[in-house]
Chains A and B, each alone.
Chain A
Amino acid sequence: EDQVTQSPEALRLQEGESSSLNCSYTVSGLRGLFWYRQDPGKGPEFLFTLYSAGEEKEKERLKATLTKKESFLHITAPKPEDSATYLCAVENTGFQKLVFGTGTRLLVSP
């Protein structure tokens, strides 16, 4: 069974304090690993797709990386507006669905 585990559950940072969020996964065949941002009471907002180990993608202060067992979301010099829950999900090559982790709640204080 495909599984996604995210850590930490919650993370508090000061504005400008860089850090990383972890997503460990097990999947029999990876079609893609996805990062989403979710604000309270809202739907997941797509950030990145990673397809193979070694791949990296960047968007503003966010950078996602992928190995065969985990993915990291690096946040460089975060701002308060980066506060949200960050979700990781995988899609198996044999299925048409996303399997989500429980997310990391990020709070960035000014």
Chain B
Amino acid sequence: EPEVTQTPSHQVTQMGQEVILRCVPISNHLYFYWYRQILGQKVEFLVSFYNNEISEKSEIFDDQFSVERPDGSNFTLKIRSTKLEDSAMYFCASTGEVEAFFGQGTRLTVV
């Protein structure tokens, strides 16, 4: 069964460092997303991406965040200068028609 895959599963980084979270969406899907979930809180939308550009972004997705689809299969989230409050689970998702399918997440810990 097709699935969304994310790497790494866990990333520890120092405050101020740049991190890149990687995702391989389901191959025939056209919409891609990043969500995050701070421990004990709800899943929050960050950004949606379609046709090689951002289609929507939340207030959380400020200038320190960027997304890219560098080739035909990968979808990345870059955080330029990490802060302690960026510590969370980051989920990639992709949509074919309606339903969004999520990856297993990357746990980002900023120390």
Contacts and interface: CB of A to CB of B under 8 A. Distances in A.
Given A87-B43, A102-B41, A96 B48 contact: yes
A46 B56 contact: no
A103 interface: yes
Of the four ranges (under 10, 10 to 19, 20 to 34, 35 or more), the interface on chain A belongs to: 20 to 34
Specify the main secondary structure of chain B where it touches its partner.
Answer: strand
B100 A34 contact: yes
Nearest to A39: B104
A34 B43 CA distance: 13
A91 B98 CA distance: 9
A3 to B, nearest CB: 11
A98 B100 contact: yes
Interface string B29-42: 00101010000011
Nearest to A51: B98
Given A42-B104, A43-B105, A96-B50, A32 B98 contact: yes
6 contacts: A43-B104, A44-B43, A87-B43, A91-B98, A97-B48, A98-B35
